[in-house]
Each structure stands twice: as C-alpha cells, then as structure tokens.
Amino acid sequence: AMFTEVPHDMTAHRGQDVEMACSFRGAGTPSYSLEIQWWYIRNHVDWMDKQPWTTNEVAPEEEMPKDATKISVVKVVGSNISHKLRLSRVKPSDEGTYECRVIDFSDGEGPRHHRVRAYLQV
C-alpha cells in the first residue's frame, strides 16, 4: 500500500486558488474500502520538526494535535483512491499544515492509517 501522489509544500498569494493532490493505492484485493481525509492543522511547524514521521507511517487515531480540523472525507470501495483538496481565494488564516490521511480497511487486523503532509504558506 502506498501513496501514488502526495501534496507538496507551497506558497500562495492572498486571493489565489490552491489545489493539493493526494492519491493512494491499497495493497489488497479491490473489494474493500478506503477512506481519504483532508485535515488542517494550524501552525505546528515546530511540532513537525520535533517528531520525525515517515510518509507511510501507521498512525493511531489519537495522535492528531488538538488544533486539527477535518476538512473533507471521501470513501470508496476498491484499491485506488484520489482526492484533491481545493482551497479558493486563500487568506493568511489558511496558512498551516494540510494532512492527507488514508484509512485502509484491507487488513484483517483492523484499519491502517497512512498520512502525508504539506505546508501552505500565505
């Protein structure tokens, strides 16, 4: 199981439209479900620096920082999922870390969480 497209850190000007892409391919047979979530985590650059994490890390649910907000959720049945986050007319308060989290239900031992992050600077 792996990300096939990941979001990148970016700098945007106020009023610009921004897109972040995230695609994931599951490892199991195509008859299970995948869920993709976009989260917004306010200004925690320092938190990222202190905590090394890998692209395909399996993360327990409770690890989300307090100031994380779930923006959107998409569910599919199948082994591929893709979900673009679109932010229109960004403003300085949109600056922060955006996390694409995929929950993979293919594993009999329970869902696995994979996540990637990108920082948006406005």
CATH of the domain at 100: 2.60.40.10
**Tens digit of each residue's pLDDT (9 = 90 or more) over 67-113:** 788 999 999 888 889 999 999 999 999 999 999 999 988 767 778 88
Provide the pLDDT for residue 47. Answer: 45
Residue range of the domain that includes 84:
2-120
Q: Look up tokens 């992050």; give the residue.
A: 117
Provide the pLDDT for residue 83. Answer: 94
Q: At residue 19, does pLDDT exceed 50?
A: yes
Tokens of 119: 């920082």
Residue with more model confidence, 23 or 48: 23
Element (H, E) at 48: helix 45-50
Number of domains in the chain: 1
Q: At residue 46, does pLDDT exceed 60?
A: no
pTM metric for this prediction: 0.79
Q: What torsion do the CA atoms of 59, 64, 70, 72 make, to the nearest 10 degrees? A: -10
